[in-house]
Structure 1
Amino acid sequence: MWDSNADLFSNSFKVHINSLKKKLAVHLGDKEFIRNTRGIGYFIAEEANDETV
């Protein structure tokens, strides 16, 4: 996703994901569809607030 000159300590990707989560929350309530699995990455949950991975 990044080239060799990328700033690996930038949090711009996290900021964009957070922005998407907030926009979805406005339209869908507090349901969390975008999830993060540490060490793997982000994914869209089949069901909101689904605890299974």
Structure 2
Amino acid sequence: MVHAINAGVVQVNTYGGADITVPLGGFKQSRFGKDKSLHAIEKYTDLKTAWIALG
């Protein structure tokens, strides 16, 4: 039944059972990439190297 529904999130017989650590995403054209995931972190951040002298 859950696989037949075109939605990013489906809850069955539960209310407010979502875990805030689980990646959340859309469906169809918004399907690629999920919020709260490694993909989202890489999309919204830039890699930077910093050299710091200690002492």
TM-score for the superposition, normalised by structure 1: 0.25
Q: Which structure has the larger Rg?
A: 2
More strand by share: 1
TM-score for the superposition, normalised by structure 2: 0.25
